[in-house]
Structure 1
Amino acid sequence: MSANTQENNAKRLKAVLDRLARAGQGSKMGGSAVLAEAIELFPLNAQESELLSGGVPRGHKSLTTTTTKLVKAGWLVKGRGGWSITEEGLRATVAFPDAVSLAAALAEGTPVPAGTPLPEASPAEAPAVPADAPAVPAEAVQLVEAAELVQAAELVQAVTEELADAAPVDVAFPQPAAVALAGDFGTVLGCPDNWQPHFDEVQMVLDPEDQLWKLTADLPAGFYSFKAALNRSWDENYGAFGQPNGSNHELHHPGGPVTFCYDHRTRDITASLS
């Protein structure tokens, strides 16, 4: 990794932590959105913009990999609902106020010094209400509250019905919200482009009995490469042997139907002729 790329990554990593800090502890943000904001603040250079074999820019993959340092330090939590900053992560933004000091702390495993305060909160300012503004009639307030209660009841009912129709899930082993079989056969399956994990055509389906994600496709004879991409993005993906951001799976296919299975317990994919 070049010195320029390392410097850019350090700035983006600081931007990621600062963005989550502004959201506040307990708040969750989508990893893709957080990374996109960091890259918008510190754009990719020509080398970082080069697309890798998985169709992901080199700089995006490098930043995604680097965020694991924040997780190992205990400052960032990546969950199914999104990314969130820990209390220690909030203190880290105070203890290491710039990209250089943050990168050095992560590289050397330097913990947040004891006694480091939390950053000062910056609550949003409430809009000012003119002193001569007319009072809201009590009847209007009651109507609004009644409407909100009806909407809440309808929402609860809709969620209850959706959960009742949903396939049973093994609560002992959490599953991702979605798994895509992203590869160079996306257009064969009907996608506009290859290597795009957000299209419906490459989404796998979870089998509740064996807890395997499956997709069956009728592919022409040929050589294919693919990976498992979670939650319709490249933020979390697995290649050969279940390695995070690993090398592509490869398949020499004689042609015809083939069933792909992804096991989230091993993060690996198997393929068998149907």
Structure 2
Amino acid sequence: MSLLRDKIIGSAMRIFAQKGFAATSIQDIANDCGIAKGSLYKFFASKEDLLVEVYRHRIQLMFDQVDRIKADAALSPKARFVQETLNQFISFKEFKSSIKDFYELKINDTGVFATFVQQIRSQMFVYLEESLVHAYGPGIDVYKWDLIALYIGIIKEYMVMTELISSPFDYEQMAAFVVDRMDEMVAGLLLSKSTPILESSVMTQFVACGMKGTAVPAEEQLGEGLNRLLSTIQELQATNARKTELNDAAILLQEEADADKPRMVLVRALIGLLQSQHELTAILGQLEKLFELKAAS
């Protein structure tokens, strides 16, 4: 990497944090570097390409610190998890207002940044999967994706609050507090044996597609959801007659999914029947949205 390219990234990182992505122009960054705008375009084709490089640089710094934490053999699994959590707080704090840009920029559009966000999200999921299993053992495997979602939500919300509140925060205390709460959630899930919301088969596919910078096709999501519905029905604590009734309704749903245009009146009636079994509610909510997408296409 050239010294000038490094300088451009450093300027972009600082100005994006100060002004925000939308308010920053390529000319602003070129002026800060003391170069002509045309010289900057020799390294980056667009402001979006430059934004991607800024985020890539920050995220690499975060993962470099993760590697250092993992290499510390003196840390217990919980102590390592606390240090990894602290690392995320510190890393996100250094993004400052760029975090706001990250969540507000459109990421459903095709383009360099959209693809990058999908890849980074999947990369974070893979990292957190390993991190949580290391902290709590393989016994949490069935709940690991739900725990990842809860953990990310907690981290994100705390970072938003620390930006909104001017009081100083002790990030080491915050990291330990978050991990204590994760301990409680893990214990509660293992005790309750609740049905997970995020199934491993669905999330594995989601992460794999994200690594390639693509979304999971709705057709594939619908097929996976219906398979999960059928398998969940067989695991219910219910009479054989009740299981047969639910299974027949699920098969009819599957037939509608195979049709070019599902009949939404019938789909909603079948979903209504299946929702009378409360254990199926979460799966059916997702399936209804996927059927609506298929019907509208």
Settle same-fold status: TM greater than 0.5.
Answer: no
Specify which structure has the bigger relative contact order, considering alpha-carbon pairs within 8 angstroms and separated by 6 or more residues: 2
Q: Give TM-score scaled by structure 2 length.
A: 0.30
Structure with a larger share of its residues in helix? 2
Structure with a larger share of its residues in strand? 1
